[in-house]
A = this chain, B = another copy of it.
Amino acid sequence: MMSVTEGGGAAALAVVVDSIDKNLDGRRLALIESTPGAELKIHGGLGSEALDEPVRKLMQDALQDPRSHDGLRRIETDAGALELYLEVKRAVQELIVVGAGHIAQPMAHLGALLGFKVTVLDDRPDFATRERFPEAEQLVAADFSNPFADVLIHSRSHILLVTRGHKYDYECLIRALKMDPPPAYIGMIGSRRRVRATYVQLLEEGIGHNLIDRIHAPVGLDIGAETPEEIAVAVAAELVMLRRGGTGLPLKDVERVAERFFSEDTVKGQT
């Protein structure tokens, strides 16, 4: 299971821990995606398609739901109730930071902290160094005219464009937008004006609105970030939100515990 996820794949394993038919106890079914986007392959089996099918469905759902946890699950099947221990090895997500400047450093750091496999690209070998990026998995001396030549991009890749200049961001952006399958995230730093200039250029190049709409720009959540560290936190929060869901609003305002609570009290007081 571990080797699968290190290679960029994902896996789910279900072990029968209880059922009416005691012969089933300990039987296993595994669902393995060896590399990102590869077909899910089934290994093992519980003895009949009537049992395998609902368990396979359960595992598929667990793999797709970023909030699912390992643990016991009880399911009803046409062949009776089953208690399973479910283990999910979710795919490693990758963060590719394009440009190794002052924002890239805290960004690579936070990416690694959040469990991303981090790659830092730059065309200046003095910048993409081990000293400046101790937690990066990969440091790549890239040519920005073909930046991803030495980096495998897949559906779990998160690309952040923070090069030193608009033209480099643009060249990388257009490559990233044309990828098939598309990466999970393409973020580009820049003021509203710079973002707009990029869109003009993309339209002139014949890139459609639907592709342009995939770009996260300006990048990150709107928290007024100014320093490189603050910008990295804004982007890290956006990456977590993409991974897990949410609105970005303060949880205090989303949950409104006090508000709900006090209004219920008021209602009770009135009756």
Contacts and interface: CB of A to CB of B under 8 A. Distances in A.
A251 to B, nearest CB: 4
Nearest to A265: B203
Contact of A230 (B109, B196, B240, B249): B240
Contact of A223 (B115, B213, B225, B244): B244
A238 to B, nearest CB: 6
A14 to B, nearest CB: 22
A112 B237 CA distance: 17
A84 to B, nearest CB: 22
Nearest to A219: B251
A233 B114 contact: yes
Contacts of A245: 224
Contact of A255 (B218, B225, B251): B218
B223 A248 contact: yes
Contacts of A236: 233, 237
A216 B250 contact: yes
Interface in A213-271: 213, 215-227, 229-230, 233-234, 236-238, 240-241, 243-252, 254-255, 257-258, 261-262
A225 B244 contact: yes
B249 A221 contact: yes
